[in-house]
Amino acid sequence: MRRLTGKILTLLIATGLAVAGYGVLSHRPRRPPPTVAPAAHESPSAFSQAAHATPSGALSADDWMKRILETLERRLTISCRVLQRVRLDDEELDGVGFYLQKGIGKQRRTRWEVQSQDADGVASYVQVLKDGRYLWTDRSRDGRRTVSRIDLNWLRTLLYSQTPEEQAGMRVAPELALIMARGGLSQLIAELSDQMHFQLAVADSSTTAEYLTIVGSWKPDALARLWPEARDGQATHWPSQLPWQVTLQVGRNDFFPHVIEYYKGKVEAATGQGGGVIADGTLARFEFFEVDFARAVDDRHFNYAAGETQWADETTAAIRRLRKSDPEQVAVTERFMQRVAPR
């Protein structure tokens, strides 16, 4: 189960949140300040089945996701702390870290770092976009270290030199493909948009609430790409550690995803208790707090060296992940999802 969990969360959460299965640091994580933490009545667990209508005149969920990505792309700087809590079977695993972002376009630099600890020792995840060209991902656990790199300049060349036939086989345009390989929060939001259908979940009809929650459900083609058993018709049940839905609690004014949660069942069936406590329906919760869009970020934070560790190049693999799925495999996956959907 742990191996399955690590595989699924690494694929699904894709960037900095791939540290989900790395261990426990503390059972009493520091809570976000009131200005960041969502109000209790806006917790995804509070939503009723009737709370999915888009308010008249409001942005649609897809529009919100686009605005979130556009705003992240325009931010000159972002600095925040990160809390993560993940449920693996009956065990709750906590970790802490930070996220930093500086520059836009080709000048973008990011650093996403999380550490955790369990009985087997300290684990860490570091992802650094060092100079706008190389995205480094460095994972350490149980004394083992793996390092990978994506060369964004080479990826850009590969994307823009494709034949028309090759371009037709891609799910997204080259500009978005680069974002989905560049790391950081922008990649996370872009990949969620690629993997999920979204709708608004409104716990309070008032548009003055500080946070809005968006609910995402799998697209069959995304699940077909990530889960071979489903696309090959071999799956008979939904794995207990595979999320069925995801929610994002987004600031209405800053368009920033302050909380992201993954649920094993439908959001309406979740019994979350708020305050960051993992409830029966929650598999993972990630909080971004002490968020600052004006703080100066020192360039030294983006230094990185793999040292003597042998690293793997994943540039061409990044393109393969962005190709379209086989229609027959998608149809098989869709039928399976309909059969095992939570009631």
- pLDDT tens by residue, 77-88: 999 999 988 777
| Nearest Cα to Cα of residue 96 among 127, 117, 121, 110 | 117
pTM: 0.79
Q: What is the pLDDT of residue 341?
A: 76
Query: Per-residue pLDDT for 61 more than 90?
Result: yes
The C-alpha angle 332, 337, 342, rounded to 5 degrees, equals 165
Look at 139 and 53; give whichever has higher pLDDT.
139
Q: What is the pLDDT of residue 71?
A: 97
Averaged over 302-318, what is the pLDDT? 92
Averaged over 58-86, what is the pLDDT? 93
Query: Per-residue pLDDT for 74 more than 90?
Result: yes
Q: What is the pLDDT of residue 96?
A: 94
Residues 94 and 105: beta-carbon distance below 8 Å: no
Q: What is the pLDDT of residue 104?
A: 93
CA distances from 169 to 65, 173, 193, 291 (A): 24, 10, 18, 38
Please state, in angstroms and rounded to a whole number, the distance separating the CA atoms of residues 19 and 13: 9
Average pLDDT value for the chain: 77
